[in-house]
Amino acid sequence: MFGFIKKSLQKTTDAIKTVIPKKKPFITKDELEDVLLEADVEYDLVEIIMREIYQEKVTREILRSKLLATLSYADYKEPEFTPPFVELIVGVNGAGKTTTIAKLAARYKNEGKSVILGAADTFRAAAIEQLTLWAKKLDVPIVSSKQGHDPSAVAYDTIASAKAKDIDHVIIDTAGRLHTQTNLANELKKIVRICSKAHSGSPHRTLLVLDGTQGNSAIAQAKAFHEMIGIDGIIITKLDGTAKGGSVFSIAYALELPILFVGTGERPENLTPFDKYEFVDGILDAIFEEDKKNEA
């Protein structure tokens, strides 16, 4: 039984149905190209997939293997670490970064872990206020300061507090926009350095939050963040609100980074671990007649 990921693909599968109104046992290569483009798979990747398919009749099994191959980097191995586990959350304003942090915190709490938040996006007062509200709602501690203060100091104090109180998880918010990209890069690099001084080996994981409604335009910003400080994994938000679900293939393929979670709604529990098999099968179910074979 499919869960949140398939449900979150509803708008994408509705778009696919404008190309393939009725499910079929196979589709032509021309139809496949139209389907992939309609779902917002990047054109260059569409060309690669088309070149690697030699059959004129494209079956579910053939397409499934090609789509899974584009997500071959979606596997993730947890880093070794000494507690607390420190995560740095980056992304542009409006991507859903603060809400995603709240969802991560809720997830850890549900696993019986303790969490502390660091409001190191001191560029925007609204970011500090929003994260503080979430901390109160989730009943987790938060370290914050006033707008304009040094974000690295907030990161340091958050980690120091976690160590003093034996807290399991540290989640640090960061600014999504400064006056120039150079300023943002310098600030993020400084936060990384200070985290390492506060707790050796941290941040243990740097996650990039991408807005799923932006589709393939998110790739350029993802590359920029990756070049700045290095990204360990991606969280895609608002997947349930877009017909551009195919961009997930492009993002994973272009960046060669694992997609760890997808946002599938507004509630704190609506952060779903990314399952590439469920994602691909959710797309295929909109195209092909039901496959009786077990493909798991």
Q: Side-chain half-sphere of 266: how many Cα atoms within 13 Å?
A: 1
Shared-domain flag, residues 164 and 62: no
The pLDDT value recorded for residue 3 is 74
Mean pLDDT, each 10-residue run in order, the chain (296 residues): 74 92 94 94 94 93 95 80 96 91 96 97 91 96 92 97 98 83 91 97 96 86 91 92 89 91 84 92 91 48
pLDDT of residue 260: 94
Q: Using CA atoms, how far apart are residues 180 and 160, in angstroms rounded to an integer?
A: 30
| 205 & 262 share domain | yes
Domain span holding position 117: 85-273
Cis amide linkage into residue 21, ω under 30° from 0: no
Give the type of residue at 242. T
Statement to judge: residues 154 and 248 lie in one domain: yes
Burial (0-12, 13-18, 19+ Cβ within 10 Å), 138: middle
This prediction's pTM = 0.91
CATH number at residue 27: 1.20.120
User: Is 100:121 a contact under the CB 8 Å cutoff?
Assistant: no
Check residue 124 and give its pLDDT: 86
Coil, helix or strand at residue 263: strand
- Count the domains in the chain: 2
Check whether residue 31 and residue 133 sit in a common domain.
Answer: no
**58 and 129 both lie in a single domain:** no
Burial class (CB in 10 A: 0-12, 13-18, 19+), 162: buried
